[in-house]
Amino acid sequence: MELRKLLGDRVVERLASSQRFAALTGAGVSAESGVATFRDPNGLWAQFRPEELASMEGFLSNPERVWQWYQYRRHVIERVRPNPAHRALAELETLVPEMTLITQNVDRLHQRAGSTRVLELHGNLEENHCADCGLPYCDRISDESPPRCPACGGLVRPSVVWFGEMLPADVLQEAERTARRAEVFLVVGTSAEVYPAAALPFLAWQHGATIIEVNPTPTPVSAIAHASIREKAGSALPALVELIAAVRTTDGMGQTTLRRR
């Protein structure tokens, strides 16, 4: 099989015998579902710089505009569906003892595909909270303007990480722990250039993980990857997960380690 040859015997053996899998996913995975991050096809929002739409400064200078941009994105996400890459990663969770997904995406398509253990480094588009006191906001919202916090009257904002903001410390800490523990670490659809997420594959590599990169073009991770699959995630991941399923049942190695656990 072509993929088997590309990965090589050592990587395939790791896929068959490892207990702890992890994956870092980025915009490339969502793009195949039709979720553009900042460039919408209609050009309605293209006139704004990303910082105007996704930073606290941008929000404070024009809360309505930023809120409408997020409502637009929320409606886009309602219309799209998880793609084969999302579904393959969800299936992987059922094949191995431990599988943690670390994502830079905020669209929750991984969860909709069935993944249950997802660390959202950049928050998510579904939730809102008060920009002043941090209280989660779950009441009704409109498309036009942000609601006011019932506790303090502050402006309610989407629970995503904006430019210039720290990643949620507990999530990042858990992601780093996952990277250090992983035996197999997949890097999928991300240019791996935005820190601190970009450091996770290197952390995993330093701690002995087998690194498999899935990206159409080379990235900084390519230098340390044990295998690089130069394809879109939607075609590469179903094949990879099918191979993992096959080697864990037919080789017997996976079964043995599973039973030992």
- Residues making contact with Zn ion (CB under 5 A): 130, 132-133, 135, 149, 151-152, 154
CB nearer Zn ion, residue 29 or residue 130: 130
Distance CA 224, CA 112 (A): 31
Cβ atoms of 241 and 92 within 8 Å: the answer is yes
Q: At what angle do helices 233-250 and 84-95 cross, to 10 degrees?
A: 20
Distance CA 97, CA 260 (A): 11
Q: Give least dist CB 99 to Zn ion, A.
A: 36
Question: Residue 127: helix, strand or coil by DSSP?
Answer: strand
CB nearer Zn ion, residue 21 or residue 137: 137
Distance CA 127, CA 160 (A): 8
Does 122 participate in catalysis according to the annotation? Answer: yes
For 140, residues 6+ apart whose C-beta sits below 8 A from its C-beta are: 147
CB nearer Zn ion, residue 129 or residue 248: 129
Q: Give least dist CB 166 to Zn ion, A.
A: 19
Amino acid letter, 133:
C
Q: Give least dist CB 162 to Zn ion, A.
A: 17
3-state secondary structure 144-180: CCCCECCCCCCEEEEEECCECCCCCHHHHHHHHHHHH
Out of 122, 129, 207, 226, the active site residue is 122
Residue with tokens 């498309």: 143
Amino acid letter, 173:
Q
Q: Give least dist CB 144 to Zn ion, A.
A: 20
What are the structure tokens assigned to 49, written together? 């710089």
Q: Give least dist CB 155 to Zn ion, A.
A: 9
For 127, counting Cβ atoms within 10 Å of its Cβ (0-12 exposed, 13-18 middle, 19+ buried), the class is middle
Active centre residues (catalytic): 122
